[in-house]
Homo-oligomer: A and B are copies of this chain.
Amino acid sequence: MSTEQNSAIQPDFEKEGGLLPAIAQDEITGEVLMLAWMNKEAWETTLSTGQAVYYSRSRKRLWPKGESSGHVQLVKSIRLDCDKDVILLGIEQIGRAACHTGRRTCFHKRVHNDQLIDEGEILFNPDEVYHSK
């Protein structure tokens, strides 16, 4: 992946006040694993490192995915939508689980009639991964 910050490929950060939604999808299986946010710096760091780096709106700083857990996302492809204001990353999820709950995908709450059903195996113990270091 090029490290040059080429304007031709840059999303339209101006339009959305500097923060765009970025979807992480498993490059092979097509599973949608999470949605987070990117500012220009997160985008450029993602391009230059080849690993997904988001912007944490709560912590107000760059968030290299996996910085605590080690569960980084290796970027295999990058696509923009027709308006260039949404980013779609095709990734390989190291450690299998993208969600801080230990599940494979953050989208583990399925609407079933009038209930939300939690689905998906818990692949790691969040207490061990996030608080044992």
Which residues of A are in contact with B by a Cβ distance under 8 Å? 2, 4, 6, 8-9, 21, 23, 25, 29-32, 34-35, 47, 77-84, 86, 88, 99-101, 103, 106-111, 113-116
* Complex partner residue of A23 from B8, B29, B35, B84, CB under 8 angstroms: B35
Tallying the copies of this chain within the complex gives 2
B-chain residues with CB within 8 Å of residue A8 when the two chains form the complex: 114-116
**Could you list 10 examples of A-B contacts with CB < 8 Å?**
A2-B114, A9-B116, A21-B21, A21-B35, A23-B35, A29-B30, A77-B110, A79-B111, A82-B99, A82-B109
B-chain residues with CB within 8 Å of residue A113 when the two chains form the complex: 2
**Closest chain B residue to A26, Cβ basis:** B30
